[in-house]
Structure formats: C-alpha cells, structure tokens
Amino acid sequence: MAFRHYLLAAIIYGFAGAVAIAAGMAPLPSPLTLEQALNYADEAVPGLQLRQAELEQSQAEQIRAESLTDMQAYLEARARYVNPPDYAPDQSHDDNRYGIVINKDLYDFGKRRAQVNAAAFDVDANHLLYLDARVRRRLEITQRYFDVLLADLIVNRSEEEMAVAYIRFDRLRQRKELGQASNVQVVAAEAQYHHIRVQRYKNIAEQRSTRARLAEALNHPEHLPDTLVAPSVQILERKIPDVEELQALLLKQNYQLQAQRAKVHAAEQRLDMARAQDNPVLMGSAEAFKYSRQLSSNDEMRVGVTLTVPLYDGRRNDAAIALAHAQILQARAQLSQTESDLRQLVLRLWLDLDNLRVQREERVVLRKYRELNLDRARALYDLDVNADLGNAMAQFTDIEYLAAQTDYQMLRTWAQLDILTGQYQLTNTTNQTLPNSVQPHEKP
C-alpha cells in the first residue's frame, strides 16, 4: 500500500513538474534541502514588498527633508508689451527680461535640522523592520519545511497502522470461517480498519496541503516540492545559555526593539522641530537679469538677505508641540510594551528548549528500544515464530515521528531565539549592516 501511494505521489509531482517546465518556469530542486529552500527567502512576497516599500518611502521623505535646506536656482524669462506714459524717457513697447534667481535658507535656528534628523531615524527604523521581515521569512520557510517532513512521517505511520489493522481484520475473518472468532470481533476489526483508512486519506490530504504551503512560502506556488532532505540536527547539541544572557542580547540586538528606539528618537526630533516652528528664518537670495528697457528700477544684479520673524500663529504651534509630545509618549509606551513582550517570549522559548532537551533524551532512548524490538520481531519472523512485523513496525514508525517532531521543534525554537537575540545571520545581502545612528539605550 505504501508503495502504491508513493508511486501515485511521484506521478502527480512529476506531472506538475512537467507542466511547470512546459510553461517556462524553473521547478524547485529535487531533492530539496533546507539550505536550498532558504535561498528563496528574499524573493518578492507581499509582506517583504510592503516593508521594502515603507523603507523606500521613508528614504524619499529623508531626501525631501534634506532638499528643503538646499539651494534653489531657476531661470526666469518674461516677455511683455507695455504702453509707457508720455513722460517716460523710454517710449519703447517691449519690456522683456531674462536671468537667473538663486535662493537659499541660511539659518533657521534648528528647525530643518530636526526635520532631517527625524526623517533619518524613520529610515533607520524601517531598515531594521525590513531586516526583521527578512529573518522572519526564513523562520516561516523553516517551519513550512518541517511541516512537510512531519506530514510525510505521519503518512508513513498511517500506512503501517492501516496495514496492521487490515491484517488483523483479515485474520479474524479467516478464523471466523473456522469458527474461532465471533462476528462481533470481525465487524469491530473491520470498523477499526476503516477508521484508520479514513485517517490515512486525511493525512495524505494534509501532506499535499503542507507541500502547497511550503511552495507558497517559497513564492513558487506552481511548483510543489517532491522529495525533501531531513536537515542536520547537530546544532541541537549546542549549550543552552542562561536566560539572563539571552534577554541581554535581546535588549541590545533585537531588530524590533532597535526599530522602536529609532521611532522614539524620530518622535523626539519632531518635538524639537515643532518647538522651532516660531524661530526666525534667515534666507539669502541673488538675482541677475538682462532687460530690454533701461529703467531706474531695473537692477542687473541683486544680492541680499531676508530675516523672517514669526509673531503670532493663532496657537498652531502650541497644538503641534502638544501632538509631538503625545507621539513621544506613545512611542515610548510601545517600546516598553515590546520590550516586556519579547522578554517574556524569550523566557518561554528558553523554558521550552529545556523541556524539549529532556524530551529528546527520552525519545532517543525509546527509539533505540523500538529499533531493538523491531530487530527482534524480524528475527522471530525469519524463524516463522511470528506471522508478521505489524505491531513492531508501527511502533517504530510512531517513535520516528515523535523523535523527529521533537528535533524540529528544537530547531525552530533555536531559530526563534537566534532571531530575537539578533544572532541569526543573513547571507547574500549587501544591505544587512545596521544603521550607525541607532545604538541601544542611546540618544544621539
């Protein structure tokens, strides 16, 4: 039965791959390793594209803020017909001019600088959130990959269970014909067989579903992965550090917390900007023109400075300051809440990891016992003492699933802790360096 199932699966996946190739799409590698799957993590998916768009938007806003202090230069040309009065010395009708105008804010007492700094911190925050989205994409792919491996093991287990149930039912049916079993026993065994058979088909459907979810996570929904390679579990031998050490790394290196701190700094800069709204502004200007008419008011060159001092704005600035102050309080509260939530998450993962370590030790020993029991059942089968290997084989596939489940839970937990503490290394990127302007627990 297992052979027929895998033959059918191979035909289905092979047909899907042939269709993909015919459509000009590159299929996923087969067999697929976890490392190969993670190479697809940076492909364009909606969540990553959204973070990328937010980063580019904040970068554009930074450029706009910086441009407000740049020099502005433009050409100006005017063509005009006039009818001068009789007493005018120049009675010509053409009153044309062309020239260049240059304006620049020379000093605004900190208003533009605060705006530029706020925009820079927004860029830092979105950059960090983009990096966080990238590492979380890898965590998602890892989880989907493990889901497929576990689904395959569940199907293996259900195949063995169904085979054992069918053999038991068939033997009771034969014994009934010999008068050694009752009809109730036969019907009960048949019901049990059909119950396991229904569960097997559900497991096969879930096996197909997990492959579809993995393909979606890899941004290749048209390519269902065929064979997956179980990852190495050597990392599970690494020493579990103290929770205080992990929480210290969390506060120092976590992308989300660094982004929240950058948002606090941006809010503080916006408060400085709001307070500077009623500061004077000193602007310099220069003009050079050529004229078609010579008049006493037509200067070929002008250079000057203008000082603007706000006097009254109808409490608009008071409202802007109050709003900026409220945004600081909100950003600080969000930072404190995020710190608290992530500290608790690290503690929970640390406790889970310790529990999984003990559980893994138990299942390693149990797997050895089930393997020895299977060897014993094979020996008895070869000696014609036992008629089949059913129970021993089913028990072995069951512990294989449970052991793999524990290993994959530990691998995922380690990945989560590495991501939360900033120890997960991104590869194949030129954009992973953290902004220098964002340092933990520091305000520039």
Provide DSSP, 123-150: HHHHHHHHHHHHHHHHHHHHHHHHHHHH
pLDDT in tens, 302-361: 999 999 888 888 788 889 999 999 999 999 999 999 999 999 999 999 999 999 999 988
What is the distance of C-alpha 11 from the center of its chain?
Answer: 34
Going by their DSSP bridges, the two strands 72-78 and 281-291 should be labelled as: unpaired
CA distance 158 to 206: 12
Task: Specify whether the CB–CB gap between 421 and 346 falls below 8 A.
Answer: yes
pLDDT of residue 381: 56
Q: Which fold has domain 2-69+108-278+313-420?
A: Outer membrane efflux proteins (OEP) (1.20.1600)
What is the predicted pLDDT for the residue at 25?
Answer: 57
Which residue has tokens 């990238």?
134
145-175 burial, b if ≥16 CB within 10 A, otherwise e? bbbbbbbbbbbbbbbbbbbbbbbbbebbeee
Asked whether the beta carbons of 108 and 276 are under 8 A apart, the reply is: yes
Tens of pLDDT along 120-143?
999 999 999 999 999 999 999 999
If we measure between CA atoms, which residue out of 323, 191, 207 comes closest to residue 270? 323
Which residues of the chain are under the pLDDT cut of 50? 1-24, 385, 387, 428-444
Taking the CA of residue 138 as centre, how many other CA atoms within 13 Å lie in the half-sphere pointing to its CB? Answer: 22
**Exposed / middle / buried, residue 382 (Cβ in 10 Å: 0-12, 13-18, 19+):** exposed
Give the closest residue to 28 by CA, choosing from 231, 211, 230, 232. Answer: 211
Q: Name residue 248's amino acid.
A: A
- Range(s) within the chain of domains with CATH label 1.20.1600.10: 2-69+108-278+313-420
| Cα distances (Å, whole numbers) of residue 170 to 189, 191, 435, 436 | 9, 12, 70, 72
Q: How far is CA 227 from the centre of its chain?
A: 26
CATH fold, domain 70-107+279-312, is Outer membrane efflux proteins (OEP) (2.20.200)
CATH 2.20.200 boundaries in the chain: 70-107+279-312
Q: Give the Cα separation of 277 and 267 in Å (integer).
A: 15
pTM of the predicted model, to two decimals?
0.79
Cα 26 from Cα 39, distance rounded (Å): 14
Best CA proximity match to 192, nearest among 175, 176, 168: 168
Per residue in 142-164, pLDDT tens?
999 999 999 999 998 888 888 88
pLDDT of residue 437: 37
